[in-house]
Chains A and B, each alone.
Chain A
Amino acid sequence: MLKVCDVTKRYGRFTVLEHIDLEFTPGVYGLLAPNGAGKTTLMKMLTTLAFPTEGEIRYDGVEIGAMNAAYRDLLGYLPQQMGYYPNQTPTQFLSYLAALKGMEKGTVPARVEELLHLVGLTDVKRKKMKTFSGGMLQRVGIAQALLNDPKVLILDEPTAGLDPSERVRFRNIISGLSKDRIVILSTHIVSDVESVANQLIFLKDHKVAGEGAPESFCQDLRGKVFEITLPDTELPQFEQTHAVLSIRQEQNRVHLRFTGGSLPAEAVPAEPSLEDVFLVFYR
């Protein structure tokens, strides 16, 4: 179990995270927050790239800084900006990182081959990475994070640059991996975590604003989200009195999802989605 115990992180006088308490057991955790909310800082602390100013992070009761190499041996990490050496092929790059992850040389080629197949890069395994698209590089990044079969897999905005089919493939990979490991997925794209995360964590104002199963968040919002179609001239006035969650233009009319404010007679209740939850949280 990975436990974040009363962690605060400050850079000088600026507090990035304040009194964070979290517990991670095997499963997929979606860390949702808008840009600049401290997601990456939390990810960095979970990967020992940064250390808490106050509090501790423990894995199975042992502080991860004290575990040092033993913790890194359990860790797989995909950073927000996936770095690579342009003149290396994905096979060379993964073999290089496998060596740094302390993997036995004999086991590396088969593992690299397996992972390249998993992320759909077998056809380009001998091409230099400088010729790769952003999505292909991201897939190399996902493969490198899985090299050592990590018990704690931390993915910082993993679907950035992936096209829709690649996103679906990625979600399927994550679902398959989550049985016996902790997967922490940081994103500000709600659809990335909607179908795969068992637990969601919302960060707001440097603190944990909410934590629980996706359904429980939607349940809380049930009966509070409505849809209505209005002439587009009435939209500015409506926006002043209601929290508009989405707008769809339909010729001279607009179809809105909204919450709060007085309920017009034409409004019909709508099933709340996780995106609605996110928008309500960060209004």
Chain B
Amino acid sequence: MTIQFPSEEQIQASVREICERAPLAKRPTIRSFLRDMSRNLGLRQIFAGTWDVITICCTLFAFVGVVGAVELRTTVDPQQKGSVFLFAFSPVFLFLLFSLSLWKEAEGPVWSIKMTCLYTVRHLMAFRVFCITCLSFAAVGFYTLVLSCVLDLRSLPLLCISLSSLFLYSLIQIQAALSLRSNWAACGLLALWVFGNCAAAQLWPRFYWELLQAVPVLAWIAVDVLLAGMFCNRYGIYVRRACYAEGM
């Protein structure tokens, strides 16, 4: 019996036929995603239906900030405690915002419509985190500078630690929002950040402090940039026309 193998032309024709199918054509990259979202959605629309949540988060964050500052004034080693406090709690605002607004969206009336759009609630959440991170840089930076002036601390390392932790955390949060199917898994993953840092500072204070000290603050930024690169790259790797054809 002779088996008829397809010719190269037939294989290419089949590949073309499969690649012509509309579903394989469109795949947003992180860049196009950020561009589309910022171009097409205004600030009011990005946060549509969640302004109350943002107000709650801002109030709670301000409260945590004031309590933290008062607490640091009474400690014997404010430099060490301040670093830990800023590293662990800078992203609390993001965590609160993420959890509360996700809960609000899930309970809200437009959930099922949004979940069937090209950009779902997860994408919207990721973009909100991105926007809030940008705004938080200014807020946290200002807070850190005030704190360092009041407590006479070295402001630059504190600033780098708090901002890089915020950036690192927001990357994890965006990645979780885009990649994980379960909201609870995303929230749990994010909660680990805060509790992990607090637990490490509580259980192994010397080691944790040395870790913060040993790693040059700019290394945090370098790690973050590396993670950002990986994140963009991972997000972009999907079945595309070319990949699909090569895979055949």
Contacts and interface: CB of A to CB of B under 8 A. Distances in A.
The answer to whether A and B come from one shared complex is yes
Interface of A: 47-49, 59-62, 67, 69-75, 77, 79, 81-85, 88, 92, 95-105, 108, 144, 148, 151
Contacts of B112: 47, 49, 77, 79, 81, 83
Contacts of B113: 77, 79, 82-83, 97, 144
Most B CB contacts (10 A, CB to CB) among A84, A95, A99, A151 go to: A99
Task: Give the contact-size bracket for chain B.
Answer: 20 to 34
Given A49-B112, A84-B110, A103-B40, A74 B117 contact: no
A42 B123 CA distance: 25
A60 B40 contact: no
Contact of B116 (A61, A62, A72): A72
Contact of A69 (B22, B26, B45, B111): B26
Contact of A72 (B24, B25, B41, B118): B118
Contacts of B37: 99
A102 B36 contact: yes
Contacts of A105: 39-40
Nearest to B32: A102
A48 B118 contact: no
16 contacts: A49-B115, A49-B116, A60-B23, A62-B23, A69-B27, A70-B23, A74-B22, A81-B112, A83-B113, A95-B45, A99-B41, A99-B119, A100-B120, A101-B118, A103-B40, A108-B40
Interface of B: 21-28, 36-37, 39-41, 45, 48-49, 108-120, 123-124
> From DSSP, what is the main secondary structure of chain B's interface residues?
loop
B28 A85 contact: no
Most A CB contacts (10 A, CB to CB) among B111, B118, B124 go to: B118
B120 A72 contact: yes
Contact of A47 (B22, B39, B116): B116
B114 to A, nearest CB: 6
A88 B48 contact: yes
Contact of B28 (A60, A69, A98): A69
A30 B25 CA distance: 30
Nearest to A108: B40
A186 to B, nearest CB: 14
